[in-house]
Structure 1
Amino acid sequence: MTQSLFPTYQRWDIRPKKGLGCWLQSEDGKEYLDFTSGIGVTSLGHCNPEVGKAVKYQLEHFWHTSNLFTLTIQEQVANLLSEASGLDRVFFCNSGAEANEAAIKLAKKATGRKKIISCLGSFHGRTYATMGATGQEKVRIGYGPMLEQFDYISFNDIASVSKKIDGDTAAIMLEVVQGEGGINLATKEFLTEIQEVASKNGVLIIVDEIQTGIGRTGTCFAYQQFDFSPHIVTVAKALGNGLPIGAMIGKAELIEYFGPGSHGSTFGGNPVSLVACKATLESIFQDEFLALIEQKGHYLKSQLKQQLSNSNYVVDIRGMGLMIGIELASEANDIVIKLQEAGMLTLSAGPNVLRLLPPLNVSYEEMDIAIQRICQAIHSQSGIFLTQK
């Protein structure tokens, strides 16, 4: 087949044909246990029947009108996000990068200041503004000067927070769990310091919940597991369980700065994506469902720790809810490939961390299959690693 795509991705040699729940079948008939969830997107699994039913209904009515119209479905989903987050207003867009762009624009406009501070090791997107906000130099290589006024603090370094903030700082932007950076968890002390310093200096707090939000960590949003109160929260990925949608959620005090003409998106708040979003949120934002995520995450992490406790190849196992990272003594991609051969799909996070993002409705039986395959692959690679040393 003629290749007409830009080679912007290191693609796997797997061609999906059909997915159902936690399982994905390729064109050659091989079955994979999918612990990627499309990089944290299909949190209710492939072809979720409730989401599919909602989308089918909307496709039979209308697909698009534009934001010149008042759409009931936008108001319904905005209310769900507002109630779950404790914030007040929602702007819909198409992706996480767009949500973060909106957050950066709003923070600068509301404060009249120019500088955004983010954390080293963070990932906030690949547009020009969000590349600047991303605390990883490799993302910015080759694109010339970034937009002005981005600065960085070390993740979990309390002392660095007050050193970087000045009278021109509009916002601090961070992930409670750094996903792409290696499943790094913020400490309570670090978040407390940010809250206090930001409050004293009139600085807004933006929490990027694009990978951690919508139940992934066992609460609606990861920041809710701490005494932490952001002004702006961004979400995407799992929001539509596979349909493209993102959102920025903000406090009431910011409403006046995002009035008519201040920002927009042609496809933002598309009704087809929003019905998928409504069905997804109504399933996940239930106390019983969220409690199960926490229980499953504890089971998965504890079983992996127990069964890999004697492995010299495993440096650490960490995470929140069903967002788990296994830090290895060499590149995680070796294990990713071994697991693909064994019929399991996983991700890396940074060079040495194996990242697990199973659907939130994964069964205990499926987790046991995953644990067996992961442990077998790691023990196998451990022997090779020790021989090479």
Structure 2
Amino acid sequence: MSRSSFLFTSESVSEGHPDKVSDRISDTVVDLFLSKDPYARVACETLTTTNLVVLAGEIRGQGIMDTDGNWAPGVEAEIEAAVRAAVRDIGYEQDGFHWETFEFINRLHGQSADIAVGVDAAGDKDEGAGDQGIMFGYASNETPELMPATLQYSHNILKRLADVRHAGEKRLEPDAKSQVTIQYEDGKPVRATSIVLSTQHAKGMTQQQVADLVKPHILAVLPEGFTDENTVWHINPTGIFEIGGPDGDAGLTGRKIIVDTYGGASPHGGGAFSGKDPTKVDRSAAYACRYLAKNVVAAGLADRCTIQISYAIGVAKPQSIHVDLHGTGKGAVNEAVLETNILGLIGGATPRAIREHLGLNKPIYARTAAYGHFGRAPDVDGGFGWEKVDLVDKLKALA
């Protein structure tokens, strides 16, 4: 039996964290290419460091690159302009990393023909998975977003500080990290035992000045009474944080996969999301798993739900489905019933069915690069469509 009383911790990082800058750039490239060709293939990795951005990876798409690997006219300039605009939007105008002056190197090239022939649809063969792998989705009713409280509150803290910064608070800079430890009683979050925040700040500020600036904003996004006199606070525990972002630490796409998902509260298949078009099941199937798990919890069938799906490269049909309700299932709809029926609600969870059901062949990915891919409100243009709870009635009917 799982423990009902314990401490648990999750962290988040801001849009200005060097790894998140890299994720944002990679997803900006995905969006640019999908805006040109909804069926473009993109696998874009980004390295950021002091005054340098490097792109690498494999691509294919109409109006982007021809079969000989030649760029379509003007596309290379569009890529650079989009990347610089993304960095400007984050807010980097520092001597060591400035959107207008960093060196830009583009090493994207054509997709491997061996991969293309394996995953493309042909004749009676449906489009296969872009790679082998296992993907997980998770949901919990401990927050309104059906997310782990430790991670949701960590995200909320940084999103609030980013909003304040973008609204004109010049004393805050883009790079930041948060960490929230919560005490659980009877499986429910009851109080924060520790809050850690490290935020890049303007030159000359003391540690106390930073704490006085950010603490009211932290308290504003936590439930009332969630902190008390025993909560331990660590605000900029190193004392000073003036050099940040890619100038302070190199960034790479895909290094914050636990921040992107469930903060350690759920297993993770190991594949990153950012920089990948939705034919890559690392991304699309993980979104589908979250979609299904969230709908199970939203339907009141369980307090918690974890779903795993696995794939083989070039094969459309999933290799397995596993559902775990963590002993919180309610009524007649148990794991076995869900495993038998749930993939049918999304066309069998083939890569094509997932993309069509969730509307993933759109330029909707740059917005996912910070503050989590899950626990977000669906957008009217299809962004975060995997957060919809439109399967509730069908799931209830399985009883």
TM-score under structure 2 normalisation?
A: 0.24
Bigger strand share = 2
Bigger helix share = 1
TM-score under structure 1 normalisation?
A: 0.24
* RCO comparison, higher one (Cα < 8 Å, 6+): 2
